[in-house]
Amino acid sequence: MSEPPPPSEAVLRLAEALVFASAEPVPARVLAQLLPEGEEAEAVLAELARRYAGRGVELASVAGGVQFRTAPDLAPRLKTVVQQPRRLPRVAMETLAIIAYHQPVTRPEIEAIRGASLSQDTLDQLLEAHLITPQGRKEAPGRPALWVTTAQFLAAFALSALADLPRREDLLSEPPPSR
């Protein structure tokens, strides 16, 4: 059985333009809607990634799609000329990590894990950054909101899926005491 022919230049140009113009990672299914019949989105994206490999801009798989990103080896050199987004305070990063690893999670559950109260300002910062979103309410007294991470969270941390998060055990600075 012979391999299918490589994608045409016109198809590659279309895919390149779509990924370039999109502010969010582009899933293969979105590209597939634009392609002529018989063209496979995965094959087109694979060829596009091959063409950009080793260049200043590369095609990266993030948040269930693809996005053009600065080559990892060049990013440190660009930090001096590219405006960096505002960093999140430590409490916001702690809260974000708890949500990422325990989602869906309520505010009282976040506070119990942190061992400290959580201000509305912290949740507002994460909401404004589009890193978290409410996803329904827990069937419990008061029906508290359930918080989850977003596709923007995955993109911000260059993750394809939540499964790409480091395992909690790997993040411990020292092994847990044996019992």
- Walk along the chain (179 residues) in steps of 10 and give the mean pLDDT of each run: 81 94 92 92 95 94 92 82 70 94 94 92 92 93 93 88 83 59
| Number of other CB atoms surrounding residue 120 within 10 Å | 9
CA angle (23 as vertex; 22, 29 as ends), nearest 5? 50
Domain count of the chain? 2
| 69 and 121 in a common domain | no
- Is 49 in the same domain as 104? no
The answer to the question of residue 118 being in a domain is yes
Asked if residue 150 and residue 130 are part of one domain, the reply reads yes
CATH code of the domain containing 39: 1.10.10.10
pLDDT score recorded for residue 150: 94
In a domain, 106, yes or no: yes
pLDDT of residue 6: 85
The reply to whether 57 and 117 lie within a common domain is no
* 3-class secondary structure, 81: coil
Q: How far apart are CA 130 and CA 133, in angstroms?
A: 7
> Which residues lie closer than 8 Å to 41 by C-beta, 6 or more apart?
15, 28, 29, 31, 32, 35
Question: What's residue 27's pLDDT?
Answer: 95
Whether 179 maps to a domain, the answer reads: no
Res 23: pLDDT: 87
Q: Quick one: 94 and 145 in the same domain?
A: yes
pLDDT at 40: 93
Together in a domain, 103 and 127 = yes
Range of the domain at 145: 90-170
DSSP bridge pairs for 67? 60
Task: Specify if 143 maps to a domain.
Answer: yes
pLDDT at 1: 61
Answer yes or no: are the C-beta atoms of 113 and 71 closer than 8 Å. no
Length of the chain: 179
Q: Are residues 149 and 95 in the same domain?
A: yes
**Whole-number pLDDT of residue 156:** 86
Q: Provide the token pair at 46.
A: 């694979």
In a domain, 38, yes or no: yes
In the prediction, which pLDDT does 76 show?
82
Check whether residue 73 and residue 94 sit in a common domain: no
Q: Is residue 117 domain-shared with residue 56, that is, in the same domain?
A: no
